[in-house]
Structure 1
Amino acid sequence: MRSTFSAVFTIFVTLSVCAASPFTKRAVTLPPLNGKFDYQIGGPYTPAADVAVVTRDNSASPVSGKYNICYINAFQTQPDAASFWQSSANAGLLLHKSDGSLFEDADWPGEYFLDTRTDSNRQAIATILNGWIDTCHSKGFDAIEPDNLDTFSRSTNLLTAADNLALAKLFTDHAHSLGLAVAQKNTGGELGASGKSTAGFDFAVAEECQQFEECDSYTDVYGNNMLEIEYTDNGISAWNAACKARGSAISVIYRDRDVVPSSSKAYHYQEC
């Protein structure tokens, strides 16, 4: 249920401290409740003056004076990072089918699932992700949005929710040690409260929860600490229903599927 985007994926070769190291959680700041949200993972642009919360790809920079969320693809790869993930050092971190081929996302060609089934893999993946989180922190972001937590539900039973949550716990602990909040991105219906209780997520970013009738699975856990995106290719009825149900309590936005910059003819943005 995530959006398409074509932002440049930057490989950070400076890795963080070992993911197995103990971390001390620092106080984190959550997004302002019902602060107007702008979702810019398809490319950065100047947000409206009244926008309070902005999500951008980790290759971009945060916006001064806003609450900034740093997007990372945490459970599968980006097409332009193929050489990094398929290198001899990292190829063992990719999920393979029984025939030996890589497990490719059926909807997103060139994106391959990460193999979270062993502790050694999770530690190695977390070390890479923690390096990206370090860069988000050094740039001045306030929070992390790790995408594709739901690969376990799309892996024909090769991956499990428990293993993905174990990986999430590693990088969430690291982010917390830097004072960064971490969002649960989607997967509310599958995980219930375990995203918060097991991985330690602090708030939710939910795509199309009205369309798929699962918004309560987020509000039941995170209350109004939630940001919602509905997409134009689903039609306006879901967004109208979301605004009626939650628009007075949380920021609900209506965006084009590719979340393109405002300079593009395909750009669309509305907020309740």
Structure 2
Amino acid sequence: MAAIAVVVALSGCATTVSDPPAPFTPPPAGATPDYQLGGGYDPADGVGIVGRDRSDEPAEGLYSVCYVNGFQTQPGELDTWPDDLVLQSDGAPVFDPDWPDEALLDTSTDERRERIAEIVAPWIEGCAASGFDAVEFDNLDSYTRSGDALTLDDNLALATLLVDVAHDAGLAAGQKNAAEDAPELREQAGFDFAVVEECSAYEECAAFTDVYGDAVIDIEYTDELPRSFAEMCADHDAPASMVLRDRDLVTPAADGYVFETCDR
């Protein structure tokens, strides 16, 4: 996960030199996004940023963001994790109440965080090898669902490890949600941009744009619109990159597919 160290002889002395991090490019400011975690498909004309799962391929010719669930287990993957890296309560895994097939990872110690990062690092590097430009890390706020077993500092420490892996691989690193923690995640963990869900519906877009400026990608969902999407796009605090999608993020071939962008 770290840059490879090489030994160089200088004037008879051995000096350790690390390869510089690979260059990375942040998302294009104000570009139209599409969020395709439910399955990749050809983006509509005018789309400049596409988010897809790490198991998918990037969108050809467009800025592509790779989704990685870095702080909870993916559905169906609990058994692939060592038991001691999954947060336990009374001998049973602690699950996300909103996503009951996702268990929280135990970020409470340096040793556990390093082992989690060792597992996640190949996923990040795989995103880079596939041709993605950036990676977004989900569930940075898992500590809020831990019954005080985990802290923000615990998750910040793991986030810093994961951001370093991303940067070393040549990927920009995106904060996913966690509005209240944006300043710390930006300043301490080193995130470059944010991918946020429903910041307009929850009136918290400024929490991200105050920290990341135009480097905020917002996805709103049709089932939780407090007003029209056009009105949300016109808000002073609305991010420069916004899209309206169906909650299940299905492909255009499926019933319920919705894709709408701001008319700016």
* Fold equivalence (TM over 0.5): yes
CA deviations over 1:228-247 (Å, ceiling 9, x no partner): 01111112516344301259
| 1:221–1:71 Cα change, 3 Å | same
**SS of the counterpart of 1:59?**
coil
Letter aligned with residue 199 of structure 1: A
Q: What value does the CA root-mean-square deviation take over the aligned residues? A: 2.0
Aligned match of 2:39: 43
Aligned match of 2:162: 171
Aligned match of 1:268: 258
Shift, 1:249, TM fit: 5.9
Letter aligned with residue 260 of structure 1: V
- TM-score, normalised with respect to structure 2: 0.89
Aligned match of 1:101: 92
CA deviations over 1:185-208 (Å, ceiling 9, x no partner): 0012x2141111111000011111
Aligned match of 1:61: 57
Aligned match of 2:242: 252
**SS of the counterpart of 2:99?**
coil
Aligned match of 2:209: 219
Letter aligned with residue 72 of structure 2: Q
Tell me if the contact between 1:210 and 1:238 (Cα under 8 Å) persists in the aligned partners: no
Q: Does 1:181 align with 2:172?
A: yes
CA deviations over 1:30-56 (Å, ceiling 9, x no partner): 111111100001111111131110000
**SS of the counterpart of 1:109?**
strand
Asked which structure has the greater CA Rg, the reply is 2
| 1:145–1:192 Cα change, 3 Å | closer
- Which structure shows the higher strand fraction? 2
| 1:44–1:120 Cα change, 3 Å | same
Aligned match of 1:52: 48
Pick from 197, 202, 216 the counterpart of residue 207 of structure 1.
197
The alignment covers a number of residue pairs equal to 250
Tell me if the contact between 2:128 and 2:171 (Cα under 8 Å) persists in the aligned partners: yes
| 1:238–1:27 Cα change, 3 Å | farther
Aligned match of 1:3: none
Pick from 107, 126, 150 the counterpart of residue 116 of structure 1.
107
- Provide the C-alpha distance between the structure 1 equivalents of 2:204 and 2:238, rounded to a whole number of angstroms: 18
**SS of the counterpart of 1:38?**
strand
Tell me if the contact between 1:255 and 1:270 (Cα under 8 Å) persists in the aligned partners: yes
Unaligned runs of 5+ in 1: 1-16
- Provide the C-alpha distance between the structure 1 equivalents of 2:236 and 2:142, rounded to a whole number of angstroms: 28
Letter aligned with residue 212 of structure 1: Y
Letter aligned with residue 210 of structure 1: S
Unaligned runs of 5+ in 2: 6-17
| 1:260–1:72 Cα change, 3 Å | same
| 1:141–1:252 Cα change, 3 Å | same
Pick from 120, 123, 126 the counterpart of residue 129 of structure 1.
120
**SS of the counterpart of 1:55?**
strand
Query: Taking CA–CA contacts closer than 8 Å with sequence separation of 6 or more, which of the two structures ends up with the larger relative contact order?
Result: 1
Tell me if the contact between 2:201 and 2:225 (Cα under 8 Å) persists in the aligned partners: no
Identity of matched residues, %: 45
Letter aligned with residue 112 of structure 1: A
